[in-house]
């Protein structure tokens, strides 16, 4: 480095700029220190470049892949040292230097420090304002961002494309909040939609219709479920890049419009003006998975698969290989998930085994595939392999493992997983509820109750898990006590709560108790499964006087409930009820062959051959 002695400030800045553009922040900081040792004064550009390197390090948590052999760098500590140096040089009020400092503190998670830098600046331009707005949005402070945007307009600062895109993201952040906002007494969702539409009007008036602004609009309208408006924005774009295509694809997937998403992907492929990236294939594969979930499985060459989605998925896999992204861990994860949902676990395994680098999401995808495909033994083996390899577990991993424990009834695995969750401090209400379910399936209600007692805030889902556990073990009194305790805790039961109780009543033959719960709940819940459970209870008991009240439910009785009634009619020889049920099935489910078989058996059992023949002619 001594050979560089005598270089001008401009030359040093040039070297720093090249290192920043090439993605070597650690080298930027080394050059900056060498520059100081050489006695070359730093100007505002030098400070901006050094601070930008810190921002890059903050994004990459200390080091980039190209610098892994170098010591860890604490971006926040280095940033504070640079900030002190900037103050000594009198450059802290410079708009560019101040903006980068705001950005740096925001990326390091220090929002208050970012605000302090901003308000200490003597002059503010659109860049500094927008940088602070971006910090607020990044940390989910949507309301604060909107307040500051209003203040920015009052100061006469005209927003640019970046500002508008940030504010649209603020609307997305605000929408995710459940409580009323700004004391207007309306929901955050309603308010944020109104603000988004107002921003859209401002964008049209000002002419700021850049690609990334339009892409942000597509995203926000998709979040609100307004696909028509999202499509309108997308179709009016004069130029579309891969981000805008991905935004529209994601919009369709979020609204589960899988067919439209795949058609759009096909159009993108046909136009060939934009090269799809890994995100494109992630979203397209997710669309294929949604398509598979909607389709019935069928036997194809002796294997039960979803044939059409499987063909589409294989084509997407080929495209991913052609574009060189099939080895991306996120693409690999969705491919594993997609093949499993199509019923081809073997192809999921092939993709998984072929990935050179596997992240936690990839392992979770394969584990979920085994759980969803009823291959719990393989799931347990994979989990053991994950432990040996040292994979970082998250809540999805634990839920999959607990799902395996539930299916196998393996209490030991459930307890080991529970210990790992508690040791890692990753327990939350959702995960604890899954634990309660797992313990219930493993016939260990003591552990389930102990887990429930650790919850800081129990909700209806966790109460239902406990109630269902008692129902599985056939403990009628414990189930009813849990139900009463849930109400005493001011938790409103839902249809799942009543289904658990009806299941207990069904197995115990407690008709009167079941009818009591029916009367208490029929005005609140219209879940067809609930009605089927009631009908099954009455049918098993042969309580036909009460069964006739079911006729007022009409279309709320699904085919499962109706068939339960037909079987009960056959069991107890009730021809008149059988006729009523069969006529209802014939009108609403005319293709249900089993209903015809059951009705025929009812007539046969009643030795009503003549009427049976007449019925057959009709």
User: What's the Cα-to-Cα distance from 26 to each of 21, 69, 102, 240, 401, rounded to whole Å?
Assistant: 12, 11, 20, 35, 40
Please report, rounded to a whole number, the percentage of residues in the chain having pLDDT higher than 70: 77
Q: What pLDDT digit, counting tens, does each position of 23-81 carry? A: 788 888 888 888 888 888 888 888 888 888 888 888 766 444 445 445 566 788 888 88
Report CA-CA distances (Å) from 46 to 11, 29, 98, 126, 560. 11, 11, 13, 22, 73
Least reliable range by pLDDT among 61-65, 431-435, 502-506: 61-65
What's CA 448's distance to the chain center, in Å? 27
What is the model's pLDDT at position 338? Answer: 95
Write the CB contacts of 204 (distance below 8 Å, at least 6 apart in sequence). none
Cβ–Cβ < 8 Å for 398, 426: yes
Residues facing 303 on adjacent strands: 300
**From CA 449, how far away is CA 485, in angstroms rounded?**
13
Distance CA 332, CA 365 (A): 9
Backbone phi, then psi, for 304, in 5-degree steps?
-85, 110
Mean pLDDT score of the chain: 81
Residue that is written with structure tokens 């991306």 in the block: 328
Lowest-confidence region among 133-137, 454-458, 492-496: 492-496
**Phi-psi group of 433: left, alpha or beta (phi > 0 → left; psi -120 to 50 → alpha; rest → beta):** alpha
Local structure of residue 71 (DSSP, 8 states): P
Lowest pLDDT segment from 243-257, 414-428, 564-578? 564-578
Report the sign of the C-alpha dihedral through residues 14, 20, 22, 26, in that order.
Answer: positive
DSSP line for 354-406: H-SS--HHHHHHHHHHHHHTT-HHHHHHHHHHHHHHTPPP-HHHHHHHHHHHH
d(CA 352, CA 189): 39
CB count in 10 Å sphere of residue 303 = 13
Q: How confident is the model at residue 426 (pLDDT cuts 50, 70, 90)?
A: low
DSSP, residue by residue, 73-105: --HHHHHHHHHHHHHHTT-TTSHHHHHHHHHHH
Instruction: Quote the CA–CA distance of 111 and 103 in Å, as a whole number.
Output: 9
Q: How many Cβ atoms are within 10 Å of 124's Cβ, its own excluded?
A: 18
Angle between helices 376-389 and 360-372 (to 10 degrees): 160
* Confidence at residue 315, expressed as pLDDT on a 0 to 100 scale: 95
pLDDT at 282 over 60: yes
Whether 215 has a pLDDT exceeding 70, the answer reads yes
Distance CA 53, CA 51 (A): 5
Task: For residues 54 and 75, give the distance between their C-alpha atoms in angstroms, rounded to a whole number.
Answer: 5
pLDDT tens figures, 69-85: 455 667 888 888 888 88
- Find which of 140-154, 399-413, 585-599 is predicted with most confidence, using mean pLDDT: 140-154
This prediction has a pTM of: 0.73
pLDDT digit string, tens, across residues 264-280: 999 998 888 889 999 99
Q: Where are the alpha helices (DSSP H) in 272-306?
A: 278-294
The span from the CA of 343 to the CA of 87, in Å, is 63
């Amino acid at each position: 480095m001594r050979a560089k002695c005598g270089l001008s400030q401009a030359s040093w800045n040039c070297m720093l700029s090249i290192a920043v553009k090439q993605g070597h922040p650690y080298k930027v900081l080394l050059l900056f220190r060498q520059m100081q040792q050489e006695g070359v004064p730093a100007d505002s550009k030098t400070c901006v470049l050094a601070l930008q390197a810190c921002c890059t390090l903050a994004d990459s948590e200390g080091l980039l892949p190209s610098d892994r052999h170098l010591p860890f760098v604490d971006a926040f500590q280095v940033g504070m040292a640079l900030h002190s140096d900037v103050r000594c040089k009198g450059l802290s009020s410079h708009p560019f230097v101040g903006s980068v400092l705001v950005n740096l503190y925001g990326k390091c998670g220090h929002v208050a420090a970012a605000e302090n830098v901003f308000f200490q600046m003597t002059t503010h331009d659109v860049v500094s304002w927008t940088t602070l707005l971006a910090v607020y949005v990044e940390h989910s402070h949507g309301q604060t961002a909107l307040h500051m945007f209003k203040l920015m307009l009052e100061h006469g600062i005209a927003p640019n494309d970046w500002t508008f895109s940030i504010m649209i993201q603020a609307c997305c952040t605000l929408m995710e909040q459940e409580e009323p906002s700004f004391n207007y007494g309306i929901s955050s969702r309603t308010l944020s939609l109104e603000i988004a539409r107002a921003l859209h009007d401002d964008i049209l008036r000002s002419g700021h219709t850049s690609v990334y602004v339009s892409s942000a609009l597509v995203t926000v309208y998709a979040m609100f479920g307004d696909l028509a408006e999202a499509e309108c924005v997308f179709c009016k774009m004069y130029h579309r890049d891969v981000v805008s295509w991905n935004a529209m694809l994601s919009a369709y997937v979020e609204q589960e419009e899988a067919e439209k998403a795949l058609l759009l992907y096909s159009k993108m492929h046909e136009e060939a003006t934009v090269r799809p990236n890994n995100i494109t294939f992630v979203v397209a594969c997710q669309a294929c998975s949604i398509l598979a979930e909607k389709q019935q499985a069928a036997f194809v060459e002796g294997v039960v698969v979803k044939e059409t989605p499987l063909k589409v998925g294989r084509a997407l896999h080929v495209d991913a290989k052609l574009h060189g992204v099939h080895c991306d861990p996120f693409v690999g994860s969705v491919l594993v998930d997609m093949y499993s949902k199509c019923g081809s676990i073997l192809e999921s395994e092939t993709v998984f085994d072929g990935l050179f680098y596997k992240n936690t999401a990839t392992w979770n995808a394969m584990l979920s595939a085994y759980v969803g495909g009823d291959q719990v033994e393989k799931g347990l083996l994979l989990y053991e392999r994950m432990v040996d390899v040292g994979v970082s577990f998250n809540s999805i991993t634990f839920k999959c493992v607990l799902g395996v424990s539930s299916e196998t009834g393996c209490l030991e695995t459930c307890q080991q997983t529970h210990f790992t969750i508690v040791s890692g401090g990753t327990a939350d209400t959702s995960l604890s509820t899954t634990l309660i379910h797992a313990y219930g399936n493993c016939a260990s209600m003591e552990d389930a109750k102990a887990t429930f007692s650790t919850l800081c805030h129990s909700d209806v889902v966790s109460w239902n898990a406990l109630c269902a556990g008692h129902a599985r073990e056939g403990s009628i009194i414990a189930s009813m006590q849990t139900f009463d305790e849930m109400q005493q805790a001011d938790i409103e039961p839902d249809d799942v709560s009543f289904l658990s109780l009806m299941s207990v009543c069904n197995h115990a033959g407690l008709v009167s108790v079941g009818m009591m719960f029916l009367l208490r709940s029929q005005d609140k819940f219209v879940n067809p499964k609930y009605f089927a459970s009631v009908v099954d209870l009455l049918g098993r008991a042969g309580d036909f006087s009460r069964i006739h009240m079911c006729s007022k439910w009409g279309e709320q009785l699904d085919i499962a409930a109706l068939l339960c009634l037909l079987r009960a009619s056959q069991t107890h020889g009730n021809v008149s009820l059988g006729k009523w049920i069969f006529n209802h099935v014939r009108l609403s489910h005319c293709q249900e062959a089993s209903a015809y078989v059951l009705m025929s058996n009812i007539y046969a059992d009643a030795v009503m051959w003549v009427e049976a023949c007449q019925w057959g002619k009709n």
